[in-house]
Structures are given as C-alpha cells and as structure tokens.
Amino acid sequence: MLDAEPWLEHAFGTALVRPGGTWRELKQVHSALVVTCDEWDEELEADALVAVQPGIGIAVKSADCLPILLADPDHRVVAAIHAGWRGCVAEVAIRAVEKIEALTNIRRSRLLAAFGPSIRACCFEVGPEVGQQFIPWFPERNDLSSHTHIDLPEACRRQLTTAGLSADCISDLAPCTVCGGGLADPSEFYSWRRDHKTGTRMHSAIWIRQSS
C-alpha cells in the first residue's frame, strides 16, 4: 500500500537487514507521547515521530513491539510509531493520528497505515494484569481476566479504525517476531520474548523523498 506512493520511501528492518540511510529516532519509553521533527532532539523521550519535511528519515526500534508507519498522501506527512502493549493501551496510534491532524487539514479516512513484524496472538501470552487493560478494545472477549493471549496488531488496527482510518487503508501482513507464524523463519527477527537479549532491535523507517 505504501509502496504505491511515489513520493514516499519506507522499510521494515529485520535482524539481518537494516534500512539504509540516516534517520532520526527517539528514546522510546512505552508511552503515548508523539512529537514532530521540529521538536526532536537526541534526548527526547516519546514513542511516535511525525515528519513533514522531505529528506528527513524517521524510525522506531522494536523487538516484539509493533512498528506502525503512517502516511497522508494528500499532504505528504509521515509518522513512525512504536506500539508495545503499554503504548497500545495508552492509545499511541490514536495520538499520532491526532498529531498529524493538528499539523494539516487531513481526511482521516485517507491516511495509510502499515504494520511491521511484531509479536502476535499466537505467542503473546499475558496475565490478567495486562489482559484486563485491553477490555476496551476486545469487548467481545470474556477471558481477559485470566491468563490469555492478546492480538496486539488487531488492537492497534481497531484503534486506527476508531480514529477514522478506513480498514482498506491498513496493511497488516507482517509475521510474528517470535515464531514466524508460518510465514517466515523466526531467526530473521529480534524477539525479546524469545531470546531475552538487550540492545538488539530492528528499525522501521519512513521518509518523504527529496525529489517528490
């Protein structure tokens, strides 16, 4: 979906491939804080970054958390979001949509979203202290007060549609970082839950082409 936009570049990295170029990234703190490139500095703590300037790459790091890339094809605004379960519960994806809207007069239904590799329901087992926090996004479930599995990408997809994105504009085809989900070799991805290694992260990046 994002590939069809000639003004845009993006990449989801793996444990084997790091996106090329240079970019700005944040000190991620599992929050719902969203900032623009104009506000950025190397010590800034937040979990989503928005860019309107061509040539400025923005990126988030992940190793099971969900990377989300957003793009507004009408106004050429992009965002990179780091959505772990805490950020998801805090509605970081919705806050990013609101930040883009504050910058430009967007039509939310025109926003494009792409999800990168992350832990999926097959491997994301949680206790009731976590599961109960997802009740607003899974009201149909009656198992969230016990040990269960959470579908983090689905929760974020529901948040984005609640924020006004069209379901047809959300791409969610990425495999599970823990097991590969039958779509990929899990060794292609860093996974905190599987390997418990610190300092190993994948980068997901997006930027507006200089020549667009």
The per-residue pLDDT for 212 is 46
Note whether 119 and 178 are within 8 A (CB).
yes
The per-residue pLDDT for 178 is 97
CA–CA dist 121, 199 (Å, integer): 24
CATH number at residue 89: 3.60.140.10
Decide if 128 is inside a domain.
Answer: no
Decide if 191 is inside a domain.
Answer: yes
In 3-state terms the chain splits into helix, strand, coil percentages (rounded to 5) of: 25, 25, 50
Distances (CA, A) of 171 to 68, 118, 210: 10, 14, 25
Decide if 132 is inside a domain.
Answer: no
Note whether 32 and 90 are within 8 A (CB).
yes
Q: Write the pLDDT tens digit of every residue in 105-128.
A: 899 999 999 999 999 999 999 999
Decide if 143 is inside a domain.
Answer: no
Model-level pTM greater than 0.85? yes
Instruction: For residue 79, give the amino acid letter.
Output: A
The per-residue pLDDT for 21 is 83
Residues (pLDDT < 70) of the chain are 212
Q: Find the domain containing 200 and state its range.
A: 2-118+152-208
* CB within 8 Å of 157: residues ≥ 6 apart: 115, 167, 170, 172
Distances (CA, A) of 150 to 4, 12, 30, 155, 165: 31, 22, 17, 8, 22
Decide if 181 is inside a domain.
Answer: yes
CA–CA dist 117, 63 (Å, integer): 9
Decide if 19 is inside a domain.
Answer: yes
**H runs (alpha helix) in the chain:** 85-89, 92-103, 128-131, 152-162, 192-195
Q: Please state the domain count of the chain.
A: 1
The per-residue pLDDT for 18 is 87
Tokens (6 digits) for 176: 């599970």
Decide if 139 is inside a domain.
Answer: no
Decide if 16 is inside a domain.
Answer: yes
Instruction: For residue 59, give the amino acid letter.
Output: A
